[in-house]
Structure formats: C-alpha cells, structure tokens
Amino acid sequence: MSAPPELPGVVRAALDVSRRLGFLSTTRHETGRLLATLAATRTGTLGELGTGCGVGAAWLASGAGGGVRIVTVEVDARLAEGAREVFAGDNRVEVRTGDWTTLEQFAPFSLLFVDVREVKSGGLDRIADLVGCGDLVVLDDFTPSTAWPPVYDGRVDSMRERWLTDERFTAVDVMVTDDASVVLAARR
C-alpha cells in the first residue's frame, strides 16, 4: 500500500492552528480531498458553515481556482481568529465570526460545505435558498448506512433521509472511509 498524497500547505497550516488551539474536530483528509476536487469544478462563491480553525476552508482553497471567492463562518471568535491566521495571505478567503445565517448575505454559493449538525437537521429550507440550480451542497459527518431508510445508532436517520429525498435536490450518500460518509446534493 502506498503512502497518502502529501497534504497541501494551507491544510497543514490549518491543522497546526487546530492543534495549537486544542480544536480536534476537523475535516477528515478524505472529505477534504473530495472538497478540493469539487472546488476545482466551481466558479463564483464557495461557502462553509462551521469553520473551526479553517481545515475545511483550506481544502476548498487548495482546489479552487484564482477567480473563486470563499466565505466561511464560525460562531466561536477564538477559532475564527485562528482561521484568519491561516488565510492571512489569501485574498480569496474571508473568515466571518457569527452564526450560519451570516452567510446569507453572500449567497448564492456554487458550493456550500455544511459542517454544523444543527443546520443540517433544521435548516434544509434556508440552505436550499443559498444555492441555485446546479449548485452543490456537501454535508459532512455521517456514518455509512447500507439500509433504507438510512439508520444511525439503531434509529432512522431522519436528517439524512430528508436530504436524500428532498425534491429540490438530487442527492447521494458517499462513503469517504469505512466509518464516514457525506451527503452530496445538487440543486435542481
């Protein structure tokens, strides 16, 4: 088995800030590589809900072209400041402090990465309004399920089921590792 590809410098920088601040809940490398790949196909504005110390935004930035703008929002001011350090030299990335509704003023997003559980469970209608036809929403931190409806912890995963069946989206649950999946949803 070969070694994993080298991490982009901006991702390493975000991971360093995360470690320094003791924030260990970051975007997995496998999810990050998916984000970078999807970002490479997008133009316009990319968004992220739940910056943490900027690891997800760093993956987006590592794949995005020069003309793309990335806006990310974090409710914890200390973490947002750490993320600002990471992107101090990249004028494509703007880190905002606030709740997820802070992003509404920057819509529409050609790609929106949602890494906040409360938003995934209760904000489908508002998130749908943040993207246009053909735009993508990536929802992180699911556990793979081989059942339908999807099951998590012995119960129907109603949040994931809502995303996979909403008529405004064509969506798929994509395994990124044996123990992690994301929902990738394209707005119709």
Structure confidence at residue 1 (pLDDT): 42
- pLDDT, tens digit, for every residue of 19-63? 999 998 889 999 999 999 999 999 999 999 999 999 999 999 999
**Would you say 35 and 72 are in contact if contact means Cβ atoms under 8 Å apart?**
no
| Domain ranges within the chain, ordered by starting residue | 28-187
How far apart are alpha carbons 122 and 95 in whole angstroms? 23
Element (H, E) at 45: strand 45-49
Q: pLDDT tens digits for the chain (188 residues)?
A: 444 568 999 999 999 999 999 998 889 999 999 999 999 999 999 999 999 999 999 999 999 999 999 999 999 999 999 999 999 999 999 999 999 889 999 999 999 999 866 665 567 888 999 999 999 999 998 999 988 999 888 999 888 999 999 999 999 999 999 999 999 999 99
What CATH code would you report for 28-187?
Answer: 3.40.50.150
How far apart are alpha carbons 91 and 116 in whole angstroms? 25
